[in-house]
């Protein structure tokens, strides 16, 4: 057999035995260790798939997560592990965090949404010393001119205006309610009592100031602001401090159906009652004593202290032994006709009645207090330290009085739609609105 034929047999036998042949593969075949067309080499990813240990663009490696994304089995940021359960430190539905109110509720002493914070005016507007700077720049000057003129003509005007101002703020909150109330009771059975407690001279001073302002700037300045300003003008005019005052009060839309004296301290109150009355309105004992210093310009009708000089402790002819005997004898003479003429009155400060000073407190130390509450203010351990302070230090009295009356002038103030600017101080523009 020729060599070429033998070589052909050997090659053919190798093919039958499954051996690979040298050279390029036939069509549809592949070399050893190489994939067929369309298959991936061992250890290599399919097209579009990552290599082992790598990831596709924008995808995390196994067991890891993209930035800001949770791992498999973990909660997304800001989401609870168990549906319906709060995050750590967060309350369950319907509950609140410690110290935080539930929806629609408020913390103790804090207002609900839409309500006014304590000490803020009802109505939303803010009070300001410059409130009338653009709308009525001469308002303060006009009021000052009117009430100063009235004081010069009648020295009791200052005492009356201060009393009227205190009544107004304590009854309903510095909104000129007392001016309408006085008019409403004019023809009632209580008219005598009202007219005595709210002096006509003081009322007339406010009315005159309002008329002058209506000519200057109609329906701009409220009666409540006029009363607050008149009180400061007369306190300063008689020697007292010039304390800060803000404007923007509105006049009330209603008034109390009871007498203005209802919420005022009464001459027969105990010191416990007086202190509680002030504390209920947010004033401290010291502020109460400082405001009582306003009695240095005040007066009282004989019926308010008659028991001390005529029938102390219910015994006819008995006199309060704590009252200075010279004062008690003088008052007995001055008030002997008080049952026939209830207008008879005496100044609370018998030493300097027309001057705003600290003499009211000095008088208490000397037994010269007019009312029973004056004597109790001296003898009560809660109030006596402040009486002694103000009697010996007029500067301390002026400073504390200024702060206290500024606070009083903002008590219960109404602004915005909660009130109106009356055209007349003794009546509402359109009649009282229902409460």
Contact of 158 with 234, CB cutoff 8 Å = yes
pLDDT at 15: 35
pLDDT band of residue 190 (cuts 50, 70, 90) is: very low
The string over 199-223, giving b where at least 16 C-beta atoms fall within 10 Å of a residue's C-beta and e elsewhere, is bebbbebbbbbbebbeeeeeeebbb
pLDDT band of residue 403 (cuts 50, 70, 90) is: very high
301-327 mean pLDDT? 94
Strand partners, 414: 122
Over 50: is that where the pLDDT of 369 sits?
yes
Over 80: is that where the pLDDT of 38 sits?
no
Q: Identify the weakest region by mean pLDDT among 133-147, 171-185, 313-327.
A: 171-185
Residues in the chain: 435
The closest alpha carbon to 123, from 250, 222, 253, 229, belongs to: 250
Q: How far is CA 97 from the centre of its chain?
A: 26
Q: DSSP state, 173?
A: S
pLDDT band of residue 219 (cuts 50, 70, 90) is: very high
Contact of 358 with 305, CB cutoff 8 Å = no
Give a three-class secondary structure readout of 36-98.
CCCCCCCCCCCCCCCCCCCCCCCCCCCCCCCCCCCCCCCCCCCCCCCCCCCCCCCCCCCCCCC
pLDDT band of residue 198 (cuts 50, 70, 90) is: low
Average predicted confidence (pLDDT) for the chain? 79
pLDDT at 86: 56
Which of the two residues, 141 and 33, has the higher pLDDT score?
A: 141
Q: How many whole angstroms separate alpha carbon 336 and alpha carbon 341? A: 9
pLDDT at 7: 34
Contact of 345 with 195, CB cutoff 8 Å = no
pLDDT tens digits for 245-257?
Answer: 999 999 998 876 5
Over 50: is that where the pLDDT of 153 sits?
yes
Cα–Cα distances in angstroms (integers) from residue 294 to residues 24, 194, 196, 333, in the given order:
121, 20, 18, 26
pLDDT at 267: 83
Q: How many whole angstroms separate alpha carbon 353 and alpha carbon 239? A: 12
The percent of residues above 70 in pLDDT, for the chain, comes to 65
Contact of 264 with 167, CB cutoff 8 Å = yes
pTM, 2 dp:
0.70
Q: Does 430 participate in catalysis according to the annotation?
A: no
Which of the two residues, 125 and 37, has the higher pLDDT score?
A: 125
pLDDT at 49: 62
Q: DSSP state, 414?
A: B
Residue 271 makes CB contacts below 8 A (sequence gap 6+) with: 373, 376, 377, 380, 382, 383
Q: Identify the weakest region by mean pLDDT among 15-29, 318-332, 362-376.
A: 15-29
Contact of 117 with 110, CB cutoff 8 Å = yes
Selecting among 167, 295, 301, 430, the annotated active-site residue is 167
pLDDT at 119: 43
The closest alpha carbon to 400, from 297, 291, 298, 295, belongs to: 291
pLDDT tens digits for 90-116?
Answer: 655 556 555 555 554 554 444 444 444
Mapped onto helix, strand or coil, the DSSP state of residue 128 is strand
Over 50: is that where the pLDDT of 299 sits?
yes
Q: Tokens 């200052």 appear where? A: 158
Contact of 173 with 411, CB cutoff 8 Å = yes
Q: How many whole angstroms separate alpha carbon 358 and alpha carbon 290? A: 10
pLDDT at 58: 59
| Extended strands (E) in 79-177 | none
Strand partners, 300: 346
Q: How many whole angstroms separate alpha carbon 197 and alpha carbon 304? A: 11
Burial class for 314, CB neighbours closer than 10 Å (0-12, 13-18, 19+): exposed
User: Which DSSP string corresponds to 269-321?
Assistant: --HHHHHHHHHHTT--HHHHHHHHGGGGG-EEEGGGTHHHHTSGGG-TT---T
Q: What are phi and psi of 253, to 5 degrees?
A: -95, -10
pLDDT band of residue 364 (cuts 50, 70, 90) is: very high
pLDDT at 434: 41
């Amino acid at each position: 057999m020729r060599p070429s034929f033998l070589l052909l047999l050997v090659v053919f036998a190798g093919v039958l035995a499954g051996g690979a042949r040298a050279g390029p593969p036939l069509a549809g075949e592949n070399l050893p260790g190489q994939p067929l067309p369309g298959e991936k080499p061992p250890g290599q990813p399919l097209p579009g798939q990552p290599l082992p240990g790598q990831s596709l663009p924008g995808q995390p490696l196994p067991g890891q997560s993209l930035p800001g994304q949770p791992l498999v089995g973990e909660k997304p940021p800001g989401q609870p592990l168990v549906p319906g359960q709060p995050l750590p430190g967060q309350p369950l539905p319907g509950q609140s965090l410690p110290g935080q109110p539930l929806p629609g509720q408020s913390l103790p002493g804090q207002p609900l949404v839409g309500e006014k914070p304590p000490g803020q005016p009802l109505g939303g507007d803010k009070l300001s010393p410059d409130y009338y700077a653009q709308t009525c720049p001469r308002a303060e000057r006009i009021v000052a001119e009117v009430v100063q003129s009235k004081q010069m003509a009648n020295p009791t005007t200052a005492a009356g205006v201060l009393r009227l101002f205190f009544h107004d703020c304590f009854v309903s909150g510095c909104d000129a309610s007392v001016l309408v109330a006085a008019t409403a009771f004019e023809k009632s059975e209580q008219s005598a009592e009202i007219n005595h407690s709210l002096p006509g001279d003081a009322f007339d001073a406010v009315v005159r100031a309002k008329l002058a302002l209506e000519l200057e700037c109609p329906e701009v300045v409220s009666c409540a602001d006029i009363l607050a300003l008149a009180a400061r003008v007369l306190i300063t005019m008689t020697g007292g401090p010039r304390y800060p005052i803000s404007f923007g009060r509105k006049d009330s839309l209603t008034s109390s159906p009871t007498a203005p004296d209802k919420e005022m301290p009464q001459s027969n109150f105990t010191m416990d009652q007086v202190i509680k009355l002030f504390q209920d309105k947010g004033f401290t004992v010291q502020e109460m004593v400082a405001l009582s210093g306003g009695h240095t310009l005040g007066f009282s009708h004989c019926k308010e202290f008659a028991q001390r000089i005529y029938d102390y402790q219910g015994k006819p002819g008995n006199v309060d032994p704590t009252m200075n005997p010279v004062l008690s004898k003088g008052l007995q003479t001055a008030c002997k006709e008080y049952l026939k003429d209830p207008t008879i009155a005496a100044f609370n400060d018998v030493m300097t009645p027309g001057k705003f000073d600290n003499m009211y407190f000095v008088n208490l130390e000397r037994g010269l207090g007019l009312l029973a509450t004056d004597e109790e203010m001296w003898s009560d351990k809660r109030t006596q330290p402040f009486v002694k302070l103000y009697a010996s230090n007029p500067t301390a009295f002026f400073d504390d009085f200024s702060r206290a009356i500024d606070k009083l002038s903002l008590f219960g103030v109404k602004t915005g739609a909660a009130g109106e600017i009356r055209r007349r101080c003794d009546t509402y523009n359109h009649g009282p609105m229902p409460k």
